[in-house]
Amino acid sequence: MRNLLLLASLALIASALYAADRPADFRAVNWGMSVADVKKAEAAKLQEEKDGELIFETHIAGEPVVIHYRFDAGKLASAEYDFVQQYRETERYVEAFDVLQNQLEKKYGAPLANVQRCDDSFYADYPRRWGTGIVVGKLTRDANWKREKLLISHSIRALPGGIVGHAVEYQPARDIRSDLQSAEILGAL
């Protein structure tokens, strides 16, 4: 019994040291963290907690942003920034996407894919119409990056209800469940 208690204590200490030494994967959190740990680490205002998801609200560069943390089996599996500002001037959507795209490229380098899809030449052939094309659902833009530990996806498109969805999603580059199981096993040794 004493050995089992000692083994459990060592596993907890090893996992705490492992978490303390690694840099954050997204904001102040790491993939695989529990709901309680993410709630403690996130400084933004908690807006909603529902099954498998925490939703926070904050501002980035003066723009309102909703942060989604999604969990699988109680462990952090992905995170997303939703830029919720809706614009009256449709060209602002293109500007917002381009500004954020430039910042992401400065941080992560050139994307693996940077695609604009448009099924109507009325919008595709005239950049001044791209914002309207986004709003009416005729034009979408997507960019994707892959880093050693991270997959990033930046997108803008029309959503149901006449709103525009502009988001950046982050997720681990590989299955974190196997990494967590390995860390638990190593901690137990």
* All structural domains of the chain with their residue ranges: 31-174
Q: What is the pLDDT of residues 31-89, one digit of tens each?
A: 999 999 999 999 999 999 999 999 999 999 899 999 999 999 999 999 999 999 999 99
Report d(CA 81, CA 83) in Å as an integer: 6
CA atoms within 13 A on the CB side of 111: 19
Tens-digit pLDDT profile for residues 95-129 = 999 999 999 999 999 999 999 999 999 999 999 99
- Closest residue by Cα to residue 79 from 8, 140, 30: 30
- The pLDDT of residue 12 is 37
Find the mean pLDDT for residues 23-31.
Answer: 96
Model pTM score: 0.81
Percentage of the chain lying above the pLDDT 90 cut:
78
Burial 69-102 (b: 16+ CB within 10 A, else e): bebeeebbbbbbbbbeeeeeebeebbebbeebbe
Strand partners, 166: 83, 156
Query: How far apart, in Å, do the first and last CA atoms of the chain sit?
Result: 16
- Identify which of 1, 2, 33, 17 has the alpha carbon closest to the alpha carbon of residue 186: 17
Helix (H) or strand (E) holding 158: strand 150-159
pLDDT at 182: 56
Q: Which residues pair with 167 in a beta bridge?
A: 82, 155
What does the alpha-carbon distance between residue 176 and residue 152 come to, in Å, rounded to a whole number?
Answer: 16
Strands (E), 34-128: 45-50, 53-60, 63-72, 75-83, 113-118
Per-residue tokens: 130: 């791209």
CA dist 28 and 114 (Å) reads 28
Q: How far apart are CA 98 and CA 24, in angstroms?
A: 26
